[in-house]
Chain A
Amino acid sequence: MAKVSFHHNDGSVDVLDVDPGTSLMRAAVTNGVAGIVGECGGQAMCATCHVYVRPEYLDGLPEISEDEEEMLECTADPRDEDRSRLGCQIKAGEGFDEIEVDVPASQI
């Protein structure tokens, strides 16, 4: 299990225990975390699971693929060159046991 914290703009936090191999997007959608839409089901096709990874958790995350890079240019809230990722491309157990992300104000 990995511990994933979704920080919202109003200061509230959703903390989930996530099975290895499950993406942040899937975990958020399954558990009804507000602000993560995940329209395309995890194909890096829609940019609606955008998250800002807190800096201390960036090391060790998988590289940004070409598809993810393309979608990060299509996010509703502005991209942060260092912290922006798609939640569908970050999976529990792949580069972290614990991660904290900020949820953007808008995904669409």
Chain B
Amino acid sequence: MTAEAIAARPVPTADWVTIEDLYRNPFPIYRKMRAEAPVHWVPAVNRYMVTSYEACHTVENDQEIFSANETNSLMKRAMGHSMLRKDDPEHDVDRKSYGSVLRPKAIKEHWNAIFQANHEKYLARLKAAGPGSDLIWEYAAPYAAENLRLIMGFHNATQEDMQRWSQTMINGTGNYADDPDVWAASEKSYNEVDDAIDEILPYLRKNPDSSLLSGMTSMPIPLEAIRANMKMTIGGGLNEPRDVLGVAVWALLSHPDQLAQVLADPALFPTVFEESIRWVAPIGMYPRETTRDTVLEGVQLPKGARLGVVVGAANRDPKVFEDPESFNINRLKKPHLAFGGGNHYCAGAWVAKASVSGIALPQLFAELPKLRLDPERPAVDEGWVFRGMTALPVRWDAK
């Protein structure tokens, strides 16, 4: 029976959902919600959570009804009004200002050599820290941050600045509790990023390079939009490659058969990447707002409804993916929604693929013999709006 064939029904409420449970492990919650209805009102989150693949896909492809320009958006307060909270045609102007910096040709010509150098630098750091050290904090996070710093053109900042800016502003976008300390840290980063942009733009005008900020100097784009889009990119361009890298390593180390298969055929690393972001989408939920009364996959929604598009749940919808809760690189290939879809499709998708599955994953496994989880300290996966490994202690043998 199709959505049109049944009468639209009111939205069920999921008052049993708590933020604490979502943070620890959202997937059993998503499974229960999806089985009941594609959309729920969730009081703890203060949003309608959209959990089915079909409904998420519908929302992504209809910006007329499902606007990205959310009222009272915390992201606008934390980072300014970036392209991520605009609809077309305004969104399209900002998006075009990124030019071809993040596209495959530029990656091949400029960024792969930089990713390679950064990989070597932070692999040396991990090795120096020695077996038992944390792969996320000694390698994945600084690797992702340094790659992003150079792609963006922040020659006047450090990878540590990038990590601090990213995390504090992301905390601001999720500050539903209105914690003043979270706002203070977020605003401090906001001002530091603005100062860094103001300082580096004149330098890049005189010394142009292949970076995003350098490209901006010749684009007809207002400074206010540049500032907001750079903050969004600092937020969206760091955790995601870091977290897919961490989850992919954790998944392979927890599934010895699949690890053996990949080590025998390194051409499978791109498949590992895709399955890892399907299984655990680094950005699990993002907002939309209805512009009028509507029906979404058979469920009534009022105008002005604040939605959470839960791609982390859509990616485990059993209507699309067989045995969806399992990590399985041999599953039938189907398009997942981890990069979003439609006009807001992740601008950094090719950068993530090149840096993580082109360079980091194959070289980590090649250069750390018998890489394995630390039996004494467990790996920790946490989060739901953003989800990844917060601890990944690993061991390996000397070469």
Contacts and interface: CB of A to CB of B under 8 A. Distances in A.
A-B complex is real: yes
Interface of A: 29, 37, 39-43, 45-46, 48, 66-67, 70-71, 73-74, 106-108
B105 interface: yes
A42 B345 CA distance: 10
A82 to B, nearest CB: 22
Given A48-B335, A106-B333, A73 B104 contact: yes
Contacts of A70: 100, 103-105
19 contacts: A39-B341, A40-B342, A40-B343, A40-B345, A41-B341, A41-B345, A42-B343, A43-B95, A45-B103, A45-B347, A45-B349, A46-B349, A48-B335, A66-B100, A67-B100, A70-B100, A70-B104, A107-B335, A108-B274
B278 to A, nearest CB: 11
A32 B60 CA distance: 15
For the complex of A and B, the 8 pairs showing the least CB-CB separation, nearest first, are: A41-B342, A40-B345, A41-B343, A37-B335, A70-B105, A108-B333, A39-B341, A108-B335
Interface in B332-354: 333-335, 339, 341-345, 347, 349
Interface string B107-127: 000000000000000000000
Contacts of A108: 274, 333-335
B128 to A, nearest CB: 37
B61 interface: yes
B4 to A, nearest CB: 13
A94 B196 CA distance: 45
A67 B104 CA distance: 10
Given A39-B345, A45-B345, A66-B100, 16 more contacts: A39-B339, A40-B345, A41-B60, A41-B341, A41-B343, A41-B344, A43-B95, A43-B343, A43-B345, A45-B103, A45-B347, A67-B100, A70-B104, A71-B104, A73-B104, A108-B335
Contacts of B339: 39
A39 B100 contact: no
B313 to A, nearest CB: 18
Nearest to A37: B335
B232 to A, nearest CB: 17
B335 A39 contact: yes
A43 B349 CA distance: 13
Interface in B32-62: 60-61
Interface string B64-104: 00000000000000000000000000000001000010011
